Structures are given as structure tokens and as C-alpha cells.
Structure 1
Amino acid sequence: MDQTWIRAARRLPQAPVRLVCFPHAGGSASYFAPHARLLGDDVEVLAVQYPGRQDRYREPAITDLGRLADRLADVLAGTVPGPFAFFGHSMGAIVAFEVTRRLERRGAPAPRVLFVSGRRAPSLVREDNVHRRDDAGVIAEMSRLGGTDMSLLTDPEVIEMIMPALRADYTAIETYRCDPADATVGSPIEVLTGDSDTRVSVVDAKGWADHTTAGCELRVFPGGHFYLAERATEVVAHIAARLEARISARAE
């Protein structure tokens, strides 16, 4: 497996199941380390490292979500051992969905279940413009959503370092359009969202049911856009339970 793109958040090579995690806009593979530590020894957590951040900061970030999904499908096709699932938060939910579509079209092994978090359904288009704002406007959006240490957002050197990848991610997700709009995957979808997320209503989250032929379940947690940090123990327990139920059901 390409370790440039895929990092082991917690290395458990003998684990029977793997969970591949896709970060939010501006996020990195290390975001999922706390969640990996909360999972038991039966799940190895792998996390995607997009170009343009942390140890990949010298690489140009990708501004087209389809191209990002194409590259990740190349990396992941046939390389994840045993049964696996995808988890994507915010932008990562759409990336995980599009990678799943590409794997299925190739006839490659696809996730047994797709967890999508903090993101409206792919067919629900909203005209957002964060990627066209100046740096202060982008930082203001990050501050509003939470999930980022605010002390970092007041450091000019940090802002200069993270802004190219952050702006690229916002460009990728805000210019994304699901093609076709009624695209589906054959993996069951588990939707997770926060009840006070200002970016995603519960109705928006329910729309994911239109994008799978294998069933869709919704779980609403207390919290905002980054509810999964605020409720990490509860979220991980839910993921573990649904992983076991979905993978066992598809193995029968």
C-alpha cells in the first residue's frame, strides 16, 4: 500500500477489519489518531494523507475532487487486505463516496460499509464561496465551524503554511457536482451528523439514502460540525457496533 497516501493511525496488521478514513477540508491523516486509539484491536485504522499538508506540504494540493478520487482509487484498488470500510468527514465524506464509485466501476473490492459524516448528500448542491474569499474570510469560516485550535489561526506563519492546502480543499469541495446527480453505490451507507451543525441539516443528511442500493441508516449526535471530536467515545462506539453488524451481515 502506498504509504505516501495511506497512513496507519494505529498499526494492527492482524486485525480482521480495516477502516480507511478520509479527512475534512484542511484536515490530515493525524486527525483520526485519537479515534483510532478508542477502537478495539479488531479494527486497524488507516487514514488518507492528501497532498499539500504536513509532510506532504511541498506537493501541490489537488483542487479537483474528481481527480483526487481518481488518484485515491488507483492507490486503494486491491491493496486493502481483508474486509474494509470507509469513513469520511465533511469533504472526506464526498471523497470516500466518489472513491467507492470508482472502485465499484473497476470491479475492485469496495468497502463493506460507507460511513459519511458531517456532509449533505452528494446531489444537494449549495453555492458556497469560501474558496474565493481572502485569507481572513477563510480563517473566519474555520473559526465558525470549530474543530481547529484557535491559537493556530492567529499565527501568521501557521496561516501561511496551511492556507494553500485549505484553499485547494475548499475549491475542490465547493466546485464538486455529483455526476450523475442520482449516482449510487452498492455499499450500505451509515450517515452520522451533529444536531446543531450549521452546515448540514438532518434533512440534508437523510438525502444520502438516495445514493445507495444497499440501505442507509442515520444517527444524529449532539453537537456541531465537529461533533465527532466532542463525542469521540460515543461516535467510536457507534462505528464499532455498525461495523460489526454490517460486515457480519454481508458475510452471511
Structure 2
Amino acid sequence: MTGHWLRVLRPVAAPRVRLVCFPHAGGTASFFRTWPDGLPGDVEVLAVRYPGREDRIAEPCATSMREFVDAVTADLLPSADRPLALFGHSMGASVAHEVAHRLASEHGRAPAALLVSARSAPHRLRRSGLGDLDDDALITHVRGRGAPSSAALDHPELRELALPVLRADYRMLDAYAGTATTRPLAVPVTAYYGEGDEGQSEPEAFAWSAVAGAGFAARGFAGDHFYLVPREAELLDDIATRLARSTGEAAC
């Protein structure tokens, strides 16, 4: 059912909808490992496996958003025999947005919903230069965003693995800025944000309305850039409700 880029976190024999989760910069598929427990039993949860980490650690990190999206889309197509919903956090929101466009425009398989989190809308993306920071400055940035994995940066061996991945992801995003797809997407879009997330809060979330061609909503949660860790239960309740609406079923 899935290819090299996807991990099924909870197989479902006849899912009503498949929720495909895209991690943040430096993130992994395992970030979403607890999500199946918070969603209805007929929602199959998949996570995208980025190269350069976990069980793909020997592979080079992606450098081109276009090639990245092409590969994920190709592996996702067999799963499109059921309605798909795409959720992306931070960098993952941009990847999910581009995959949604690719599915809709090139394959006629528009997702039932696009759920984006803690990320600027495509027409508001700018280069960050984060991939060019020295080690100390990059570590300070990651810790300042409240990343749950930032404690690993205290260990030299783990730091040597984590920093090159972060740099590669940030450099790919900088190369992507200014080339993002900005035409409206005929898919319902929901933008989530942390109310205390400096630079990625309410105005950035509502900017997604400009590219939402089939309905838009936004919701904030108490917390910072990684609000979705402490607010996981609330977020998943909201996602379950929106998935029920998008597939015409009652939430259960």
C-alpha cells in the first residue's frame, strides 16, 4: 500500500479517510507516533519519512522541493483510493501544500482537506538564512522554538547527526522561497497556529485564506511553535471534526 516515503502508523482495513502527516524541519515520522490513539478508529494515519534520519539515516537529505514533492506524491498515489487529508507542521506545511497541488493538478486526486500548522502562506515565504548559521546560533534558534527534540543537542554524538539535517532542511526551504505555488487550491484549508509563536501566529495563519479556493478556517492554540505537543488532544479533536465534515461522516 505504501512506498519508500510513507510509514503507516495505524493500518485500517477499510479507512474512511487517510491522514498523511508531514514533519517539521529536522523532524521525523515518529513525531506523529501517538496520533492514531487520538483519532477515530476509521482514520488511517500515515507519516512521511524524510531522508537523512531514522531508518533512512544513510540517505542524503533532500535538496530540491520539486524532487521531494515528486517522490512523495508518487508514493502517495496508491493510497488515494480513499479520501486523503494532508497535515503539515512548519516545513511540513509547505511540503503538504505542494503535494496537494500536485495530486490535484497532475493526477486529478485532490485531497479532501489540507491542514497546515505554524507556517507562513506560500506567497509570504522569505529566506531565513538559518541553514548558514554556526552551530551555536542554530542550536539557540531551535531551543527558542521549543522543539521537543532540542534536548538531544546537548549530546555531542546526537548533535553531529541532527545539525546537518536541520541545515539541509533549512537550505531547501530557502531555495524554495519565492518559487512556491501561489494559485488557489480547490481544497478546504485549515491553518493552525500557536498563539505565542513569534512570527508564525494569527496573521500568518489567516494569510492562507488567499490560496484556499474551497473554504478556509483558522484556529489558534495556547503555546509556541510546537504548541501541538502539549495541545495534542485538543488539536486532534479539531482535526477529527474537520475530517468528518470533509468526508461527510459523523465524528466518532
Q: TM-score, normalised by structure 2?
A: 0.93
CA displacement at 1:180 relative to structure 2: 6.4
CA displacement at 1:224 relative to structure 2: 0.8
Q: Which letter maps to 1:190?
A: T
Corresponding position of 1:63: 63
Cα deviation code 1:39-58 (max 9, x no counterpart)? 12021100000111011010
Alignment of 1:57-206 (within 5 A): 57-179=57-179, 182-206=182-206
Q: How far apart, in 2, do the equivalents of 1:226 and 1:182 lie?
A: 25
Q: 1:233 to 1:108 in 2, by over 3 A?
A: same
Q: How far apart, in 1, do the equivalents of 2:5 and 2:40 lie?
A: 24
Between the aligned residues of both structures, percent identity stands at 39
Q: Which letter maps to 2:142?
A: M
Corresponding position of 2:231: 231
Q: TM-score, normalised by structure 1?
A: 0.93
Is contact 2:126–2:177 with CA below 8 Å preserved after alignment? no
How many equivalent pairs are there? 249
Is contact 2:2–2:78 with CA below 8 Å preserved after alignment? no
Is contact 1:86–1:96 with CA below 8 Å preserved after alignment? yes
Q: How far apart, in 2, do the equivalents of 1:101 and 1:150 lie?
A: 32
Q: 1:18 to 1:159 in 2, by over 3 A?
A: same
Q: How far apart, in 2, do the equivalents of 1:114 and 1:85 lie?
A: 6
103-112 or 39-48: bigger deviation: 103-112
Q: How far apart, in 2, do the equivalents of 1:216 and 1:26 lie?
A: 28
Structure 2 counterpart SS, 1:165: helix
Corresponding position of 1:39: 39
User: Over aligned residues, Cα RMSD in angstroms?
Assistant: 1.6
CA displacement at 1:3 relative to structure 2: 3.7
Q: Are residues 1:11 and 2:20 paired?
A: no
Alignment of 1:206-245 (within 5 A): 206-245=206-245
Listed as ranges, the gaps of 5+ residues in structure 2 are none
